[in-house]
Amino acid sequence: MRLGYWVVVVYLGIVMSLFLPPIYAQDGKAENRTALEKESAQLVGAWEIYQTKEPGKPYMQSYKGRPFVSRGANAFTLFLEYKSDGKFRRISRIGENDSVEEGVWRLNGHELRHKRIGSSVEEIMYLRFDNKDQYTSTEVFEETGDPGLFARFRRSNF
């Protein structure tokens, strides 16, 4: 009788070992997915650049000496609009003219990827949420001698 008992225990142990690891793995992935979805949801909305910084230099309210202005004849700014369906719009405003580019976005941890319509290259930025209404991004231009650009964005109504 004891031998039969141990055979059943061993058999159940083998069966459970086959099914329980995938269940545990799925639980971990679900928690990770929820955290990523929360980060992505935080990015949804409209954002406007308001400061830039080149490596080794202080933050400025401008880009290469030209101040950020949202509206009017002297307007010079960048808006990013992230939608919950994974699409984005990038609006560059110079004076009274807006240039609009669209594409898809994906946030994975701190890595933000943009793929513009008509482009075969994905842009990669690294970002950090400073608070719910501000994030800082670092863009690295890998195939150039340019060491990158730091930019701060804040929520906008543009």
- Encode pLDDT of 48-88 as tens digits: 999 999 888 899 999 988 999 999 999 999 999 999 999 99
84 and 44 Cβ atoms separated by less than 8 Å? yes
Domain 45-155 maps to which CATH number in 3.90.1150.10, 1.10.3720.10, 3.40.50.2000, 2.40.128.540?
Answer: 2.40.128.540
pTM of the model: 0.73
113 and 129 Cβ atoms separated by less than 8 Å? no
pLDDT at 158: 78
CA distances from 27 to 14, 31, 37, 111, 145 (A): 21, 6, 15, 23, 44
Over residues 21-43, the mean pLDDT reads 61
